[in-house]
Amino acid sequence: GVPALRQALQQPQRRRSSGFNHFVDSDPGKLEPTVPPPPLLAGATPFRLAVKDNIATDEFPTQCASRILVGHASPFEATIVRQLRARGAEVVGKTNMDEFGMGSHSTNSIHGPVRNPLSANDDEPISAGGSSGGSAVAVMLGDADIALGTDTGGSIRLPASYTGAVGYRPSYGMLSRFGVFPYANSLDTVGLIARGARPILRLLADGELDQEHDPNDPTSLSSATRRRCAAACPPTLGDNSQLTVGIPLEYNIAELDPVIRATWAAAASALESAGATVVPVSLPSTREALCAYYVIAAAEASSNLAKYDGVRYGVRPPESRGDGAGHTLYSETRGVGFGDEVKRRILLGTYSLSSAAIDNYFVQAQRVRRLIRRDFDRVFRLANPLCDGGGDGAQFDLCDMPEHTLLADKRGPPQVDFLLSATTPSFPPRLADVLQRSSLDAYMNDVFTVPASLAGLPAVSLPVPAAETRLPAGLQLVGQFWDDRRLLAMAERLK
Ligand code: GLN
């Protein structure tokens, strides 16, 4: 229509950068849109949006970097894409990723690995982080102003940290996941990557993205709960003298790169000199978070991916002898269609949910998850708005435990507005090394990002120049539930 044309003409086409393998050049290519774009909202300004390939779009196939979804054209578009189109987005392409979001380096992809533009030379590319690596690279190369990613256990924050972008994971249930291919439902979020925090904050606050309930997403918070949560958070950040930032001591692990540790310490001192109060805090269950995450995420993935069996979903291999009776068709489709890491997660998840193992793994991991949530609630100044017994907070079964209500009181430890840590324990490794190492090694990269995921809290990774290296270090800020606007304002102030 005319508005779309006007919008397209306002935005001169720039040539996409190539060689970093961050866009998915798919077959089939661009599709004929099935629905007209939504009307532009008042105040919408045009911007170029890159979309991770596990988020359904009308004009492009959605393949999750998986052989099992080659050529898959979604019959509808994700709510978040529609919401951003109404705010001025023009979708420039789909971005490369780890298959179904499983990975930390964007190497588990049928399109091959994403390369980080910060690599010192072409012969030795370094990891762009994952699983939203393509989205972060699209933003950093200027191919998009903003990119959509998904963050289950760190997949937005990790690539942001490796590429020098700002990556934002929202509070769980804030941004609609309708049209986002599920990996682990109790952890999945869709979030944004940009060069700075300001454009993201603008979409959330001026664009009121955080106020829109989506009836199509059962985990999207109701309008009433949104109002209650918003009322529980201070409307503005205030000046530094009113802010307390916590330094979680358990994040100072032996494996932390000394340069990153020094950058983290320098940022804390700079905050203190700028008038904020900086205090050490303890989150004792942090140590167990990584194990709990990989049990829960794999368990949920094994259940989610069961539908890709070649019957309703999933590309059947042409040579399949599937007779519809089951086994041959399923195993042939899944054997050919899924990559190694996805198969590994399905096997791990199926095992941990089996009757012999469930008590030792899945149930135990859920207990750890509650302890992690409790740790956070004890150190934040604000109460968790889902845990005061009202609204539909009960849908998050994490809050209704007696131990939680008893121990989430505010005595004892210092009360903070935000927590500051490193996003990742090390700088981006060389891709050649990643491909040699075990998957356990990749899991280790998520050690600082999974705790906020398990607790459903908002978190931002922001780039900070580090001494002795040209690579930026990623620092992570975590806030209380629904305190996203202040969190982004704080990230903007720190950068
Ligand atoms: N690296 C983590 C995993 O493989 C996180 C992925 C994500 O957040 N999507 O599960």
Give the tens place of pLDDT for each residue, 154-200: 999 999 999 999 999 999 999 999 999 999 999 999 999 999 999 99
When mean pLDDT is compared across 23-27, 348-352, 434-438, the lowest value belongs to 23-27
Q: How far away, in angstroms, is 208 Cα from ligand 1 center? A: 28
CB 327 within 8 A of CB 347: no
- Which pLDDT value is given to residue 28? 67
Q: What is the mean pLDDT of residues 303-325?
A: 80
The residue whose CA has the least distance to atom 10 of ligand 1 is 102
Per-residue model confidence as pLDDT tens digits over 380-424: 999 999 885 444 444 444 444 444 444 445 555 679 999 999 999
Q: How far away, in angstroms, is 251 Cα from ligand 1 center? A: 19
Q: How far away, in angstroms, is 343 Cα from ligand 1 center? A: 15
Confidence of residue 334 (pLDDT cuts 50, 70, 90): very high
- Which pLDDT value is given to residue 176? 98
Q: For residue 343, indicate whether it is catalytic.
A: no
CB 393 within 8 A of CB 387: yes
Active-site residue, selected from the candidate residues 66, 109, 127, 131: 131
Q: What is the mean pLDDT of residues 146-161?
A: 98
Active-site residue, selected from the candidate residues 155, 171, 421, 461: 155
- Which pLDDT value is given to residue 389? 46
Q: For residue 131, indicate whether it is catalytic.
A: yes
Instruction: Dump the DSSP string for 124-168.
Output: S-BB--SSSHHHHHHHHTTS-SEEEEEESSSTTHHHHHHHT-EEE
Residues in contact with ligand 1 by the CB-under-6-Å rule are: 101-104, 131, 150-155, 183, 297, 446
- Which pLDDT value is given to residue 390? 42
Q: How far away, in angstroms, is 369 Cα from ligand 1 center? A: 17
Q: What does the block give as tokens for 243?
A: 């802010």
| Whole-number Å distance between alpha carbons of 338 and 371 | 34
Q: Nearest 10 degrees: CA dihedral of 18, 24, 30, 36?
A: -110
- Which pLDDT value is given to residue 402? 45
Q: Which residue has the higher pLDDT, 421 or 33?
A: 421
Active-site residue, selected from the candidate residues 52, 66, 109, 220: 52
| Whole-number Å distance between alpha carbons of 147 and 137 | 9
When mean pLDDT is compared across 262-276, 332-346, 387-401, 460-474, the lowest value belongs to 387-401
Residues in contact with 267: Cβ distance below 8 Å, sequence separation at least 6, in sequence order: 420, 464, 475, 494
Confidence of residue 13 (pLDDT cuts 50, 70, 90): low
With 0-12 CB in 10 A as exposed, 13-18 as middle and 19+ as buried, what is 389?
A: exposed
Q: How many CB atoms lie within 10 A of CB 346?
A: 21
Q: For residue 241, indicate whether it is catalytic.
A: no
SS3 content of the chain, % helix, strand, coil (to 5): 40, 15, 50
| Share above pLDDT 70 across residues of the chain, in percent, rounded to a whole number | 89
